[in-house]
Amino acid sequence: MENFTAAPSNGIIHSHHHHHLEHVPQSHSHHHEIIPSSSLLMVVIPIIIVILLLAILLLTFMLRRLQLSRDTTSTNCMFIAHSTVTISPTSDGGCLHGSGLRGTPQPKLRGAQVQVQVFSLKEVESATNKFSEVNMIGNGASGAVYRGVLQDGTVAAIKMLRPHGRYGERAFRLEVDLLSRLRSPYISQLLGYCADQHHSLLVFEYMPNGSLHTHLHPRRHTQSARTTLNWPLRLKIALDCARALEYLHEHTTPAVIHRNLKSTNILLDHNFRPKLSGFGLAKIGSDKLNGLILTRVLGTTGYLAPEYASTGKLTTKSDVYSYGVILLELLTGRVPIDTARPPGEHVLVSWALPRLTNRDKVMEMIDPALDGHYSTKDLIQVAAITAMCVQAEADYRPLITDVVQSLMPLVKKNPVPASSKSLLRFGHSPSPSS
């Protein structure tokens, strides 16, 4: 007979013969002294998990503290855009640094990165006189825009994004990330940004002549510092906007789809040269699917391509459609949606499309503000280009490069007057109906 002895001190049964250990009966008399291995695991594993979680939390907290203390020590700093810009608000109004820690869900643009300045809230406040009403130059869906003079004397347009507006932090991050990589004379330049717990601010180069919308639709703007754009200038604006899109669609890899092309997003410099802005809704196209993206429908009513509005199918051709609507605004001086007009004329595209290919009708629909100062031949050509851009069928719309090529000779024929004084309606416009 073999001897088994229970060792109450450690709850393990010792056997004098090891080969019999596995046959040890777990008698009722010893039950309270023995912890079965499965129960042991049930106790130990949760404890280990809790300890690990606590350690991770502690580590995260310490890293965050370290980052905050680094952020708040600097007030104004230059920052080289990293592969992905991460902006998270500090609690005390300090400026933030870009870092490559978090990723945006969009694919990355390839190409050079450029410097974007990070401003302290203090600097932006003193530039705008504490965001005084007097300095407010615009108030779009995403927030108010202020004119400001930076410490180095640069005049800037500072956009304060609404905290819970449709813009959101993601769009803010996207705009900084995207604009720190895009460089084109046809794209509005981002000088820097500022973010704290309560503010998200974008600092742009100042465009003294405001938006194209202000000049084409002056009655809709209370501040009436505007010029009626003459025909050569309209052609040049059309060409440069097409070049801005060409840069995004053809010269950027992968292509960028702007997704919110409209006349308020076309800003005019002191020579009335246009620059594209408003990149908060932009999408970086897919390399694989021929640029096609299926996405949520965002943008502005009156400018949305029908296939995008109804199915969310977004391609560079959606931008071409919106561009066509801007051409229509340049031709007619009408806004894309105007419910004050008679029935049948509310939606600019629906009203204009059947008329665009009819010579006499085109003459009737031209902006009365031009007062006959345009070349009929050129007008007919622009109308034909416009008709192709606002085609319901996306595949039939031209590539923006084709639009650039078609507009170039027209602009060459109609040089823009040199001095901005002569930009007024009757300045150097060609004689009517040549």
Ligand X SMILES: Nc1ncnc2c1ncn2[C@@H]1O[C@H](COP(=O)(O)OP(=O)(O)OP(=O)(O)O)[C@@H](O)[C@H]1O
Q: Which residue is closest to ligand X by CB?
A: 138
Q: For ligand X, what does the binding mask look like between residues 217 and 246, x meaning CB under 6 A?
A: ------------------------------
Flag whether 159 is marked binding: yes
Under rule CB under 6 A, residue 142 binds ligand X: yes
Q: Is residue 302 involved in binding ligand X (CB under 6 A)?
A: no
Please give the size of the binding site for ligand X, defined by CB under 6 A.
21
Measured CA to CA, the distance from residue 123 to residue 129 in angstroms comes to 10
3-class state of residue 69 by DSSP: helix
Q: Does 128 bind ligand X (CB under 6 A)?
A: no
Q: Which of 109, 207, 335, 383 binds ligand X (CB under 6 A)?
A: 207
Closest CA to 216 of 271, 261, 264, 157: 264
188 near ligand X (CB under 6 A) = yes
Q: What is the 3-state secondary structure (H, E, C) of 107-163?
A: CCCECCCCEEEECCHHHHHHHCCCCCHHHEEEEECCEEEEEEECCCCCEEEEEEECC
Q: Least distance from C-beta 190 to ligand X, angstroms?
A: 10
Residue 322 binds to ligand X (criterion: CB under 6 A): no
Give dist(CA 362, CA 146) in Å, integer: 39
User: In this structure, are residues 29 and 11 in contact, taking their beta carbons and an 8 Å threshold?
Assistant: no
Per CB under 6 A, the list member of 81, 116, 118, 145 interacting with ligand X is: 145
Q: Which two tokens stand for residue 191?
A: 């000088």
| CB closer to ligand X, 265 vs 316 | 265
Q: Is 140 in the site for ligand X (CB under 6 A)?
A: yes
Minimal distance, residue 200 CB to ligand X, in Å: 13
Could you tell me the two tokens for 98? 């870009």
Side-chain-side CA neighbours of residue 1 (13 Å): 3
Token pair for residue 256? 């960028």
Name which position in 85, 157, 248, 352 contacts ligand X (CB under 6 A): 157
Task: Report in angstroms how near the CB of residue 322 gets to ligand X at its nearest.
Answer: 12
| Sheet of 77-80, strand order | 77-80, 115-118, 190-195, 200-205, 155-161, 143-149, 136-140
Binding site for ligand X (CB under 6 A): 137-138, 140-142, 145, 157, 159, 188, 204, 206-207, 210-211, 213-214, 264-265, 267, 277-278
Q: Which residues are annotated as part of the binding site for ATP?
A: 159
